[in-house]
Amino acid sequence: MKSLYRLATGLAATALFASGASTTAFADHHGGGHASSISMIDSTEFGIDAAEIAEIKAQMQAAVDGGFIAGNLLLVGNSKGVGVLETTGTQGPEQTTAVDEQTLFRIYSMTKPIVSVATMTLVEDGLLSISDPVSKYIPEFANMTVIDEKTGAITPAKNEMTVQDLLTHESGLIYGIFDPQSELGKMYFGAGSLRFDITALELAQNLAALPLRFEPGTKWNYSRSTDVLGAVIEVAAGKPLDALLDERIFAPLGMDETTFYVDASKKSRIANPIHGDMADPTVVTPMLSGGGGLHSTTEDYVRFAAMLLGGGEYNGARILEQDTLTAMQQKFIGDDIDRSAFFFGPRGDWGLGFHLQPIPGADNNGPFNFGWQGVGGTVFIVDPTNDFFMLYMAQVRGGPAGAPMDLTKAQAAVYKAMLN
């Protein structure tokens, strides 16, 4: 239910992390100055044996041999350590370096959960509320309109878009790139939705001048919501998104390889696709996309996933209170919201920045895993019930369908091995 969890009043402001809550200080092999997040343990801790790992790796290798991807990586871990870490192939079609935990990936929409967590740290600190209207931070979002794409009629919106609507993709915004033939999609292109020479705030202001697809709070539709959310929290915190994420998430967790743009000295570590082109992460532009702009390594993202599995804390650094993280995992689509555009149809739900998918054997009452994926071939899930997190990392765009291993099949393969 949309009203199931309103955090405007129930979250106390907290000191999220104490100074000195860093990991043990010594230089790892990429010079980060802290211990690696990957400490290997036996895979049987997860109910996965050597034969099952070999089967998973064979699927990964088949995806490489079949020309679907240059290389890939699959990891399964928890608070005790990492029980599965398998890689096949190289970082790119013209690269000889093998994929490993230090390979830099364009993680695209795996940026969204990070920005959503950062938003909730601001809620805890009393800097914003999820019930706040977006127009409180970006005034251009006052007095929005809604388009009827069947008739072309544009009428005043009855509902005001809130921060919660941005977190749950119930804002009325869209992704023009996923809907290029619609009238609204064409408007998005005209408003510069694919430009990188403007800031996220400028993009948000441009989108605010366009009509919404539907009344905020009435439908789920994947969209530019998290890009607008990134601009909102820049205003609320009074600092750029990169500095905000570094202060509240990356520095406390030791995620020193997760950035909007990659230093040119690291270019040899960037994964690249066989099929289609992807932007060069070393080219710096004004855009800090909260919806899909980050680059990261597996070693870095393990820290974020482990923090989520740990109830908001990793290695002594508390990012979120457990109650906040629990609130983020509530079902916000529920029975009241139109889910005709929901990727998973009737199955699963959406929280404050995460997918919610029933674990094997569960129904839509849960228990759920949570996480999200990136259009470039990456995914992570966190499963508190079975006490593990999983990452699958590849770099692909526009390639042929039907790969023996991909971000969806990786999840199925891990659950099959773990629960058989």
Count up the domains in the chain and report the number: 1
pLDDT at residue number 136: 98
**Strand ranges (DSSP E) for 297-417?**
313-314, 317-318, 349-350, 355-363, 366-374, 378-383, 388-394
What CA–CA distance (Å, rounded) separates 256 from 52?
33
In the structure encoding, which two tokens stand for residue 166, read together?
Answer: 């941005």
What CA–CA distance (Å, rounded) separates 324 from 12?
10
pLDDT band, very low/low/confident/very high, at 401 (cuts 50, 70, 90): confident
Tell me, yes or no, whether 53 lies in a domain. Answer: no
In the structure encoding, which two tokens stand for residue 367, read together?
Answer: 């228990």
For residue 244, the enclosing domain spans 1-27+100-269+279-384
pLDDT at residue number 181: 87
Tell me, yes or no, whether 418 lies in a domain. Answer: no
Q: Report the SS3 class of residue 263.
A: coil
Cβ neighbourhood burial of 147 (10 Å; 0-12, 13-18, 19+):
buried
Tell me, yes or no, whether 408 lies in a domain. Answer: no
Tell me, yes or no, whether 117 lies in a domain. Answer: yes
Tell me, yes or no, whether 71 lies in a domain. Answer: no
In the structure encoding, which two tokens stand for residue 251, read together?
Answer: 């520095």
Average pLDDT over residues 210-217: 98
Tell me, yes or no, whether 81 lies in a domain. Answer: no
pTM of the model: 0.93
CATH code for the domain in which residue 321 is found? 3.40.710.10
Q: Please state, in angstroms and as integers, the Cα–Cα distance from residue 372 to each residue in 255, 307, 344, 378, following that order.
A: 18, 15, 12, 9
pLDDT band, very low/low/confident/very high, at 161 (cuts 50, 70, 90): very high
Q: Report the SS3 class of residue 127.
A: coil
What CA–CA distance (Å, rounded) separates 221 from 341?
6
- In this model, does residue 24 exceed pLDDT 90? no
Tell me, yes or no, whether 336 lies in a domain. Answer: yes
pLDDT at residue number 28: 40
Tell me, yes or no, whether 311 lies in a domain. Answer: yes
Q: Can you say how many angstroms the Cα of residue 356 is from the centroid of all Cα atoms in its chain?
A: 13
Please give the single-letter amino acid code of residue 10.
G
In the structure encoding, which two tokens stand for residue 408, read together?
Answer: 């969806």
pLDDT at residue number 32: 53
